[in-house]
Amino acid sequence: MEYLKEILISKKEEIKKIGKNSSLIKSELEKTGRYKRSFLNNISSGKVNVIAEIKRASPSRGIINDQLDLRETVLAYDRFKNFICGISVLTESLYFKGSPEDIKVVRENSDLPVLRKDFIFSDKQIYESAALGVDCILLIGTLLGKRKLKKLYHLAVSLGLEVLVEIHSLEDLDKVLDTGARFIGVNNRNLRDMSVDSNIIYKFLDYSQKNDIRDRVFVCESGIEGMGYIKNLFSRGINTFLIGSYFMASRDLKNTLKSMELELREKKLI
């Protein structure tokens, strides 16, 4: 839990720095507009879709890859569009060692949709995200009150951004559904103690089938334990998976991606 407090303090300082530019960012966006790429349109039914992540470190694992060649990683992801539907970029600097500047490198080297994953609490961060050229932002339902979540969600949508709203409990889900969100990430990781329970997503599946919210796109995050787990969830209606550490820890990313592609083909998941 301590890391969340430290990140919040860090984010408040970052928000102060971008505050003076938010009105300029807003006017530029309204004046020029920009080409948008859609995760929802790029996620194909009838096959597994992977959102491939870029992160150098995490609170649970520490440094994952401090020798990351960002451009080469993006180019590798871009070669496997038959199952990679987009790229997620961790821009939080304190624990994930990311930077908003990473977005620029990704945009320059791939035409896949780009998700900015960060701890977003302010409208200024959303204007900044849009100006950086992302297509989608992450909002963490667990960390935002109902009113704040709804406000930030609708601001992002008004700027032409998609929103992946992350949940960790059924209580979160009720709050998120009230925003009208269609793109929902189910994180198997507990944000407070960083433990992972790969069965958490099954609770949401049971709930969604009973309450007829199958029109939403659910993304499985964290605790993805192998192709058997992916295949089982796919058979239950989950076709999108966000994978980060597995790729980032690979010493030969191209070979790792080729092996995953082969396994997905063998199991008729792509």
Q: In terms of Cα–Cα distance, which of 52, 57, 56, 90 is closest to 74?
A: 52
- For the chain, what is the radius of gyration of the CA atoms? 18
Instruction: Tell me the two tokens of residue 42.
Output: 């790029």
Please name the residue ranges forming H helices in the chain: 2-19, 22-32, 39-42, 70-78, 101-109, 123-132, 146-158, 170-177, 200-211, 227-235, 245-248, 253-266
Would you put residue 55 in left (φ > 0), alpha (ψ -120 to 50) or beta?
beta
- Cα-flanking dihedrals φ and ψ of residue 26, to 5°? -60, -45
Active-site annotation, residues: 53, 55, 117, 166, 187, 221-222
Contacts of residue 199, defined as CB under 8 A and 6 or more positions apart, other chains included, come to 188
What distances in angstroms separate CA 31 from CA 3, 24, 26, 136, one per listed residue? 39, 10, 9, 20
Q: In terms of Cα–Cα distance, which of 228, 242, 172 is closest to 204?
A: 172
- Cα-flanking dihedrals φ and ψ of residue 146, to 5°? -60, -45
Give me the helix-helix angle, 70-78 and 253-266, nearest 10°.
20
